[in-house]
Structure 1
Amino acid sequence: MTEDAHSAVVVYDGVCLLCSRWVRFLLEHDRQGRYRFASMQAQSGRQLLQSHGLDPDSPYSMLLVEDGHGYTDTTAIVRILRSLPDRRWRWLGGLMSWIPRILRDVAYRFMARHRYRLFGRSEQCFVPSPEQRSRFIAT
């Protein structure tokens, strides 16, 4: 799979309700359409995870692929928040970046490990609207 040079790709767990809410949040707030999405259940998501050293069968990480570099966990979240046009999200990303990564990632990993129990799980991946479909990498 090749990445579009003008967009970043967020690989997310398509059956995790929290992860699907994160994608919906980004669809709403990323007005420029900078981010595209690949579920880790899709072949394209699995390939991206593997190419960045992550196990697609046991991923506790969200992956952001931007300019050929992979960012995981809270580093990915901070980068995304700081890129959004709304000042409050950029501010939150900046605030998060002041917290040492090790502490941020410990909290993130705890939530990732327990995400289905805490937030629920869907039997199928999030289905985008026809207008949103072009932002998703389906294969």
Structure 2
Amino acid sequence: MTATKKIILFDGVCNLCNNAVQFIIKRDTTDRYRFAALQSEIGQKMIAERHIDTAQLDSIILIEPGVAYYTQSTAALKIGRSFGGFWSVLAVFEWIPEKIRNSIYDYIAKNRYSWYGKKDACMIPTPELKSKFL
């Protein structure tokens, strides 16, 4: 099943990240995404399989199985654009050089706990949402 779904790895203790996951779920009308916390066993396995150094990369990770994976601003833009409609306008941000986009992304990522808070443990999905999480 996950071979046909795109996978979003996120910081499971970050309030901003958890809110972003809820935002994505509400707009994922075609059921294209599955989610896993970076801290989870499956998240760690997927990171290791792709040789991603999370000490150097504090980011959301979008995995398209059998295709590629994306991080930081590129992952966020690809997810946002997938909603279609008005969200397609996010394509204009791809004209901004990735280094500049990622510096803004990194600034937000660096401050996310102080700005939005942090949970003591990863979120536990409700029974209705459990099928969306790996």
In the superposition, the TM-score normalised over structure 2's length comes to: 0.90
> What are the within-5 Å matches in structure 2 for residues 1-139 of structure 1?
4-56=2-54, 59-68=57-66, 69-85=68-84, 87-91=85-89, 93-137=90-134
Letter of the 1:62 counterpart: I
Q: Look up the equivalent residue of 2:62 and give its one-letter code.
A: L
Q: Please provide the CA RMSD for this pair.
A: 1.6
Cα shift at 1:59: 4.4
Seq. identity, %: 34
Deviation digits for residues 11-58 of structure 1 (CA, Å, limit 9, x no counterpart): 000000010011000110001110000101111001112222223466
Using the alignment, how far apart are the partners of 1:17 and 1:58 within structure 2? 21
1:47 and 1:58 map into 2 onto residues whose CA distance is 17
Instruction: Return 5+ residue gaps in structure 2 as ranges.
Output: none
**Counterpart code for 1:126:** M
Cα 1:126/1:58, change in 2 over 3 Å: farther
Structure 2: distance between partners of 1:88 and 1:106? 25
SS in 2 for 1:114: helix
Q: Residue 37 of structure 1 aligns to a residue in which SS? A: strand
Runs (4 or more) in structure 1 with deviation over 4 Å come to 56-59
Structure 2 counterpart of 1:48, one-letter code: M
- Matched positions, count: 133
- Residues 112, 11 of structure 1: CA spacing in aligned structure 2 closer, same or farther, 3 A cutoff? same
Aligned partners of 1:50 and 1:56 also within 8 Å: no
Gaps of 5+ in 1: none
Contact 2:2–2:34 under 8 Å retained in 1? no
Contact 1:46 1:56 in 2 (8 A): no
